[in-house]
Every structure is written in structure tokens, then in C-alpha cells.
Homo-oligomer: A and B are copies of this chain.
């Protein structure tokens, strides 16, 4: 083998649309931000890695877009791992705790053992107090009345002021930073460098851009997705939106029902759903069945009337 001949010198990979925003902070919440610090790879790097499989003797079988869509559709994740991005983020600690549950990233965080804590916590404006969702035990829906909101926001402002006074007093008296911080609110801002590969980043975004994700972290995820990843790897992003964000999965049971319904066999579908235990009655009312409700929502999104 003459490797010298076979391979030419390479130039570093650049994506101009991403270079244009390198270092630029995108504002999030009242005092947070996200900036791209560095990155490696592009749509083209995904294609390049996938084509290692074909070896030197194989022709270019498909266009880049088609290949990237194929990889995404069939969960061939390793080529997406060939791209890497490093972000600098400023995030409230309660959102950050959800964030770092994603264990596949590299992290360097601001240390409040080493340094004085960032003197900012997320402030909630009077019209932004969210109500507990009645349907979703871990969600919110709608907002508190403004009069109540004003009271809560005032109270919060005083509380924050009180907490920072106490923190500062402890520091002045010589209390160790690692202990002085113990009563700071969960929504105090922290900063971090966060580095992750594209495959794991898309997994993060799928979960955190979801409507069930908490609003605060969702704001960050939306910026990362729509302002950063979309500019970085536009073909991978398009495939991600088609095959992940906007796709729906149907279980074995749901596929059986869907087949019957599409073939105008609503009676048989109802019979089958009854066998699944989805249509139990109590006191003349349908008993709540999450599986049934979720299927009904899918039918509705397809504009198909439910058969029962």
C-alpha cells in the first residue's frame, strides 16, 4: 500500500454559519445564556464516517441527505457521534440538575467552593407563576391570577434579598464558601462548559424540547436546537425533526387497532380494545386508561375518529 499517495493532506473542517456565531451569547431566561465555544465536524463528517463501512472500492451510493436520513431513520447512531460541540452555559441550578442527568457529556462547572457564588437567582415576574397541572403530576398549565402573582413576586424579592444578605454576612465573617452557600436558593445561577457529541445532544434535545420538559430547561434546549444545531448540521437537524421530534410510535396493540380501523372494522377494533382492558366501565363511565387515552390522542392527530 502506498499510503502517502492514497491520502491527501486535510484542512480543518469549518461550518461557516456556525463560525459566525462562535462565542456569541444567546440570552435565556432573565440572566442566563448559551454560547458555542468550539465544535468539531459537520454534516459532511457524518457522511464520511458512515462511508468508512463501504471501503475504498465502493462507489458513492447515495446523496448525502439521503444517507443522513437513512442513518437517522434506522438508529445508526455512531456516525452522529463523530461530531462534537462545546457550549458555555449560564443556567439556574435546578435546571442544571436536570441537565447533568445526561451522563454522556463532559462538564466543567463554576465552583462555589472555590469562588463566591454568582449573585443571581431566577426572578419570577408576577404574570409568570405557573399553576400545577391537574392531569400531569409533574407538569404545569396556565398561570396564577396577576394579583396573587404580584404578592408572590414581592415576597420572593424580599426573600432573595434576605438570603443574599445572610450569605454575604457569612462570607464576611469568614465562614467557608462551601458551607456559606448552603441556603442559597435552588434557582441560583451557575456556569459551566458542557461538551457532548451530536448523537447524545440530539437525545438530550428530544427529551428537553418535549412539551413535558420543565419550561426553564426547555428554553435552553430550544435555543440549542433552533439557533445552534440547525446552523451547524442542517441535514442532520432536518432528519431529526422528521424522524424523532415529529414522529410517533405505535405499539403492537395500537398497530392491530389501526389496521382494523383503517379497514372500517370499528366493531372488531372495539372488541379488541375491550380485550386489552382499555374499555372497562365503572358506574356507567369509562375507567381511565392511560394506554387508551394516548392511542385516542394519536388517532386525533391523524384525524381518525375513535371507533368506540
A interface with B by C-beta (< 8 Å): 1, 3-4, 6-14, 19, 22-25, 27, 31, 33, 35-41, 45, 48-50, 52-55, 57-58, 66, 69-70, 73, 78-79, 81-82, 84, 86, 88, 92-94, 97, 100-101, 103-104, 106-111, 113-116, 118, 120-122, 124, 129-133, 137-140, 144, 148, 152, 155-156, 159-160, 162-163, 166, 169-170, 173-179, 181-188, 191-193, 195, 197, 214, 241-243, 245-255, 258-259, 261-263, 290-291, 294, 301-304
Contacts and interface: CB of A to CB of B under 8 A. Distances in A.
A176 B130 contact: yes
Contacts of A122: 182
A167 to B, nearest CB: 10
B261 A252 contact: no
Given A152-B173, A182-B185, A249-B248, A86 B82 contact: yes
Contacts of A133: 176
Given A107-B101, A179-B129, A192-B52, A263 B303 contact: yes
A294 B35 CA distance: 38
B9 A174 contact: no
A284 to B, nearest CB: 23
B9 A22 contact: yes
Contacts of A55: 110-111, 114-116, 118, 191
B174 A108 contact: no
B110 A175 contact: no
A254 B18 CA distance: 31
